[in-house]
Amino acid sequence: MSAATPTPAAARPGEAPRTPAPVENRPRRRGSRTGRVALYVTLTALLLVFVAPMVWAVSGSFKPRGDIFEYPPNLIPSPGTFENFRNLLSGQPFWNWFAISVVTALLATAIAVFVCALAGFAFAKYRFAGKRLLFSVMFSSLSVPFAVILVPLFVLIVKSGLSNPWFALIVPWVAPAFGIFMMQQYIIQSIPDEILEAARIDGASEFGIFWRVVLPLLRPPLGALAVWQFLQSYNSFLWPLVLISDTDRYTIPLGLNILFKAENRSFDLVLPGAVLASVPTILVFLLLRKQLLEGLSAGAVKG
C-alpha cells in the first residue's frame, strides 16, 4: 500500500510476476498524446474547482467588508487588512470556542484510539465464544443513523445532569465501530502470531502484550484513526447544536453558525472565522495525510 511509485518498464510477457508487491498494477494505456493532455487538463480544471472556493474565502478574509464581493475578485487583497481578524477576536469569544473544540476533540481522539485498538486487537487475535455475534453487533452499529438517537440521547443526557460539554461532547463518541474495524483489519494483516507467542513465553500478561508489543507496531493505523476521529469530533455540528446553549461554551462550528445567522450576515467576521477554524484540521491532515489516506484505503481494500 505504499504510495504508488511507477515502475520504469512494463513487465515483459514471460517474466515471472514480481510477487506480492502491489505497487504498479495500473491498466496499460495506449500512449496517445492527446489523451494524456486531455487528462491533465481535466484534472487541473477539477483541481481549480476544488481550490477556488477555499482561495476565495482566504483572500476575502483579508479584504475590507466592502471589497469581499468585488468583481472580478482580486486574488491578493488590495488593500489587505487584518481588521476582520482583529474584530472577530476582540468582539467574540472566539478563543473560548476554539479551546473547547480543540480540547474536546483531542480528548475524544486519545480515548477512541485506545478503545478501538484494544477491541480491534481482541477481534483480530483471539478466539472466543460469541465472537462472530459480537463482531456483527459491533459492525451493524455503523448503520444506525444518528437521527434515531438524537432525541432520546439528548433527553437522557440532560435528565442525568451530564449536559456539560466536557462530558457530553466526548464520552458518547469515543467508541466508533469504524475504528475497531480498521484496527482489526490492520492487526490481522500485519501482526504475526509468533511475536505474541514469543511475548507469552517470556511471561508477558495479555494486556502487557497489547501495550508493549502490539501497540508500538500500530503506528500507521493509530495515526489514521486519530486524524479521522479528530476531524469527526472537531467538525461535528448537530449534537453540539442541540446540546449547548451557552454562547461561551460553544464549539467553533456553533460560533460560526450564530455569526452567520446574525441580522447583518457578518461575513466580514465569518470568513476570518472560517479560515481560523480550518487551520487545525488542515494542519492535522497535512501532517498525517499519508497515514490517513493509506489507513482508510487499506481497511476497505482488504475488508
Partner 1 sequence: MTSLSTRPDGKRRQLAPYAFIAPFYVLYGLFMIVPIGAGVYLSMTEWVGLGTPEFVGLDNFANLARDTSFHKALGNSMIFVLISVLIVVPASLLIAQALNTRGLRARDLFRVTFFIPMVLSPIVIALVYSLLLDRDYGLVNSVLRALFGAGTTDWLGDPTLAKVSVGFVLLWRWVGYLTIFFLAALQAVPRERYEAAELDGAGPWRTFTAVTLPGIRPVTAFVVVTSFIGSAQLFDEPFLITGGGPGEETLTVAMFVYRAAFDRQQFGYAAAAGLVLFVIVFGISQILNRLLSIGRTS
CB 116 to partner 1: min, Å: 8
Q: Let me know how many helices (H) and strands (E) the chain has, helices first.
A: 13, 0
Residue 79 or 130: the one with the smaller Cβ distance to partner 1 is 130
Q: Encode burial over 126-152: b for 16+ CB neighbours within 10 A, e otherwise.
A: eeeeeeeeebeebeeeeeeeeeeeeee
Look at residues 269, 254, 222 and name the one whose alpha carbon lies nearest to residue 87: 269
Contact between residue 4 and residue 290 where contact means Cβ atoms under 8 Å apart? no
The Cα 292–Cα 284 span in angstroms is: 10
CB 147 to partner 1: min, Å: 4
Residue 128 or 246: the one with the smaller Cβ distance to partner 1 is 128
Residue 81 or 101: the one with the smaller Cβ distance to partner 1 is 101
CB 157 to partner 1: min, Å: 9
CB 299 to partner 1: min, Å: 9
Residue 57 or 89: the one with the smaller Cβ distance to partner 1 is 57
Residue 9 or 90: the one with the smaller Cβ distance to partner 1 is 9
∠197-199-201 over CA atoms, to 5°? 70
CB 132 to partner 1: min, Å: 6
Residue 91 C-alpha from the chain's centroid: 30
The Cα 123–Cα 268 span in angstroms is: 51
CB 288 to partner 1: min, Å: 11
Residue 99 or 137: the one with the smaller Cβ distance to partner 1 is 137
Residue 32 or 78: the one with the smaller Cβ distance to partner 1 is 32
C-alpha cell at 203: 511471561
Residue 86 C-alpha from the chain's centroid: 29
CB 205 to partner 1: min, Å: 7
| DSSP helix/strand/coil, 42 | helix
Contact between residue 120 and residue 176 where contact means Cβ atoms under 8 Å apart? no
Look at residues 102, 113, 134 and name the one whose alpha carbon lies nearest to residue 219: 113
Residue 89 or 231: the one with the smaller Cβ distance to partner 1 is 231
CB 230 to partner 1: min, Å: 10
